[in-house]
Amino acid sequence: MIILKKQYLKILPVLLTLALFTVVNFKDVKYYYERILDSSGLRLQEFMEGVKKENKLARLSEEEYRRIIEAEEGIEEGKREESPDVDLRLNALSALLMDASNNRVLYEENGTKEMAMASTTKIMTCIIALENGNLSDVVSVSSYAASMPDVQLNIKKGEKYYLRDLLYSLMLESHNDVAVAIAEHLGGSVEGFATMMNDKVRALGCEHTNFVTPNGLDAEGHYTTARDLAVIASYAIKNDDFIKITNASTHQFKEITKGKTYTVSNKNRFLYMMDGAIGVKTGFTGKAGYCFVGALRQNEKTFISVVLGCGWPPSKNLKWSDTKKLMEYGLKNYKLRQIFEDVRLDPLFVDDGQKKYEPIELKGDIQLLLRDDEKVHIEYELPEYLKAPVKKDSIVGYAKYYIDDELYETLPIRAMEAIEKIDYKFCLKKIIELWSFQH
């Protein structure tokens, strides 16, 4: 014990000198600390090499990952299915099939072409009413609303109806006078309601749609695209009241003041054409032709189909056959798959950090509908090193998932620990520890 005390007494002046010198010149002490750390062999090179080796073994290469996925799907290596025939020979001037779970386009013909949309407009009219009104609201009919042409409920000026009942009339039989009555009730005017519709469609990310009327009658500047309309429908079917209304076969109601009785019946034949059909809306004008937006939910798959300009009289049934072709194509060729790759990533070196390596992690869950011939690849974007300080959970990089070279999803890679910057107190402590270790 006496010998050990003498050894510590010998180095005590050195340590005191180092402490005093640190106050004067912290950078030099930090440099000295780094040199001692290097010479001590405590940078844990062997440990880090072991970590890298372990991570390399744990990480699946993209080729191996794809092989495992294919094996799970029963696809023999080197015998991928050929690309499906995507020429569906549709009649529509514009057509599109969308995965409603993520709004990914699965098939399209002129899907981004701006076109007239007829009464498919009423999908948005209904959603605006459900989100901004109360189903028990009393709607008074104006002379302007009562004057609407073509398909009508034949409401009269001064009559009163519950909003709930008018929405059934709107969606089951596409009454144009009802659409205007709803618009005036909620927006104060048709123009005010159109502003509400356009604000909503922009919020949904649809940049190629503009609403002028609530009923879809041909009007200058009233247009959409098959893609935008699919996004609107994808949003709409997530509303339980919307589904309840659009899936009803019939609805009976009365005018409030005089008690006149009405019965409306659903004109959407698609509801009875395929198992799992859940909507949505028909439409026709001289400019738009026959139009239809459909929705189908089957075996964890939910599809939205859109056909615009799908024939003119007398070819009103083409919209049904085109819709069925689109839905059958989706059901046959797309399978639900998990494409997230759970990998362990190498720690990143932290320059000027109190710890030299930052462990990082990637978390995610990416399930989507894929064809057998669609290829997924992942690119990891990470810096060569980090600069202290590093906050826990801070984003240090990204994993980018591509489907056939088109970016689908970007996931953040995060720091797992907080690492502070090297300071005077830390340096002094470590120098004392390292000096003691060496002696």
Domain edges within the chain: 2-69+341-438, 94-336
Higher pLDDT, 59 or 127: 127
Average pLDDT over the chain, rounded to an integer:
87
CATH H-level, domain 2-69+341-438: superfamily: D-Ala-D-Ala carboxypeptidase, C-terminal domain (2.60.410.10)
**Which residues have a Cβ under 8 Å from the Cβ of 102 and sit 6 or more positions away?**
368
Give the residue from 326, 319, 321 showing the smallest Cα distance to 120: 319
**Residue 48 reports pLDDT greater than 70:** no
Model pLDDT for residues 73-98, shown as the tens digit of each residue? 444 444 444 556 667 899 999 999 99
pLDDT over 70 (residue 10)? no
Q: Which region, left, alpha or beta, applies to residue 44 given φ > 0 means left and ψ of -120 to 50 means alpha?
A: left
d(CA 269, CA 284): 15
Q: What are the tens digits of pLDDT across the range 137-168?
A: 999 999 999 999 989 999 999 999 999 999 99
Q: Which two tokens stand for residue 326?
A: 């689109």
Residue 39 scores a pLDDT above 50? no
Per-residue model confidence (pLDDT) at position 426: 81
**Model confidence pTM above 0.75:** yes
CA distance 309 to 301: 26
Residues marked active site are found at 119, 122, 174
Q: How far apart are CA 346 and CA 64, in angstroms?
A: 19
pLDDT digits (tens, 9 = 90+) for 392-401: 999 999 999 9
3-state secondary structure the chain: CHHHHHHHHHHHHHHHHHHHHHHHCHHHHHHHHHHHHHHHCCCCHHHHHHHHHHHHHHCCCHHHHHHHHHHHCCCCCCCCCCCCCCCCCCCCCEEEEEECCCCEEEEEECCCCCECCHHHHHHHHHHHHHHHCCCCCEEECCHHHHCCCCCCCCCCCCCEEEHHHHHHHHHHHCCHHHHHHHHHHHHCCHHHHHHHHHHHHHHCCCCCCECCCCCCCCCCCCEECHHHHHHHHHHHCCCHHHHHHHCCCEEEEECCCCCCEEEEECCCHHHHCCCCEEEEEEEEECCCEEEEEEEEEECCEEEEEEEECCCCCCCCCHHHHHHHHHHHHHHHHCEEEECCCCCCCCCEEEECECCCEECEEECCCCEEEECCCCCEEEEEECCCEEECCECCCCEEEEEEEEECCEEEEEEEEEECCCECECCHHHHHHHHHHHHHHHC
Whether the Cβ atoms of residue 338 and residue 368 lie closer than 8 Å to each other: no
**Residue 176 confidence (pLDDT) above 80:** yes
pLDDT, tens digit (0-9, with 9 covering 90-100), for 255-266? 999 999 999 999
Maximum mean pLDDT: which of 18-32, 74-88, 218-232: 218-232
Residue range 94-336, CATH number: 3.40.710.10
Which of 92, 94, 33, 268 is CA-nearest to residue 170? 268
